[in-house]
Structure 1
Amino acid sequence: MRNLIFIFALIASPLTAQDFSEGSEAKTWNLYAEVPARFEAKVVDVLCELTGDCADDCGAGARQLGLVRSVDNVMVLPMKNSQPAFTGAAEELAPFCNQVIEVDGLMIEDEDLGASNIYLVQRIKAGDADWIKANTWTKKWAQKYPEAKGKGPWFRRDPRVKDVIASEGYLGLGLEADETYAEENF
């Protein structure tokens, strides 16, 4: 039995160590364990893939999206687009729900960190179309929340963030905890 497990481990190890950097034009973010990665994948609703609880249009922007790589059927989790904040991946991929596309970005894979198949998508290509930059999140956010127009970072103006702060406080421990903290520290 041990020999059989060892043989399967040897066969599987090249799949886990695949190099997807060929042809990648991904720009570095100087993050620990980042590696350029370009591959073909199907855009999927993660909850649907894992549990069978499927929604129309991959949840219409209300669910986390994933990429199932064509070459090895491994699910990759896109966590951000090419903008500075760790946002936007689902928004960028939503128009491609259940389609096979090509993506280019950075993969973070590190056993010590516990990171596996974490992806930062920078470019998307569907079929014969040209590459598009995955950088539209803030524009789409501004269209969705025109009342949040103004200076400063988007998250300081986002009505959803403001609602959470109003009910839970800045520390997320309730308004009373915020008051106590302010009294003790300022």
Structure 2
Amino acid sequence: MRTLIAMAVLASGPALAQDFSEGSEASEWGLFGERTARFEAEVVDPICTLSGDCAQACADGRQMALLRRADEVLVMPLKNRQTVFSGAAADLAPYCGETVEVDGLLIENPEIGATNVYMVQRIRRLPDGAWSETTRFTEAWAEANPDAAGDGPWFRRDPRIAAEIAREGWLGLGPEAEDAFLRDWLGVE
């Protein structure tokens, strides 16, 4: 039995250690566990793909995922190219259901449970589409929140974030607990 388990682990090794860095032009960010990665994938709605509940697949505002062609692994693109920490859904949504090529950073850090976490920096339609940088988030946010125009980063003006802070406080403890914390620990009245 041990021999069979060892053979299975050895056989799966190349798939687990697959290198997708060839041809990548992604900018490295110096993140622990990052590797440049360029691959072909289908842009999918992960709820539909994982659960079979596809009634709302590819609907506006849904998260997107990449079903990698080389190994059928579902890769979660949690960040786009922008320096603001913003998601990639706005950049990927126009490609939902299509096969694309992406280029970015793949994060593999088993110590924190990060597996197939992806920062997509460029995307193109296959077979011969032009590359586009994934920088759509702030533009899409501004279009969706015209009354939140002003100075400062988008998240300081986002009505959803402001409502959450009003409900849960800055620390997520709730307004009463946060007030007590500020008084007791920081002497703030």
* TM superposition score category, shorter chain reference: over 0.9
Q: Which residue of 2 aligns with 1:76?
A: 75
* Aligned mates of 1:130, 1:119 — CA distance in 2: 21
Contact 1:44 1:58 in 2 (8 A): yes
Q: Percent identity?
A: 52
Q: State the match for 1:90 in structure 2.
A: 89
Distance 1:55 1:37 in 2: 32
State the Cα distance separating 1:125 from its structure 2 match.
0.6
Structure 2: state its 5+ residue gaps. none
Q: SS state of the match for residue 58, structure 2?
A: helix
1:109-142 per-residue CA deviation (whole Å, 9 max, x = no partner) reads 1222321111000000112221000011101101
Structure 2 residue 158 is matched with structure 1 residue 158: yes
4+ residue runs over 3 A deviation? none
Task: Out of 9-18 and 33-42, give the one that drifted further.
Answer: 9-18
Partner residue in 2 for 1:53: 53
> Which has the larger displacement, 67-76 or 166-175?
166-175
TM-score, structure 2 length as denominator? 0.92
Q: What do residues 52-82 of structure 1 show as CA deviations (whole Å, max 9, x unaligned)?
A: 1123442322x32211100100111111001
TM-score by length of 1: 0.93
CA distance in 2, matches of 1:86, 1:65: 17
Return the alpha-carbon distance in structure 2 between the equivalents of residues 59 and 10 of structure 1: 41
RMSD (Å) for aligned C-alpha atoms: 1.4
- Note the residue ranges of structure 1 that are not aligned, 5 or more in a row: none
Asked whether the equivalents of residues 79 and 86 of structure 1 are also in contact (C-alpha less than 8 Å), the reply is no
Counterpart CA distance in 2 for 1:182 and 1:10 is: 54
> Do the aligned residues in 1 keep the contact of 2:48 with 2:57 (CA within 8 Å)?
no
- The aligned residue for residue 167 of structure 1 is 167
Which range is displaced more, 107-116 or 69-78? 107-116
What is the letter of the counterpart of residue 7 of structure 1?
Answer: M
CA contact (8 A) 1:35 1:107 kept: yes
Equivalent residues, number: 185
Q: Displacement of 1:2 after TM fit?
A: 3.0
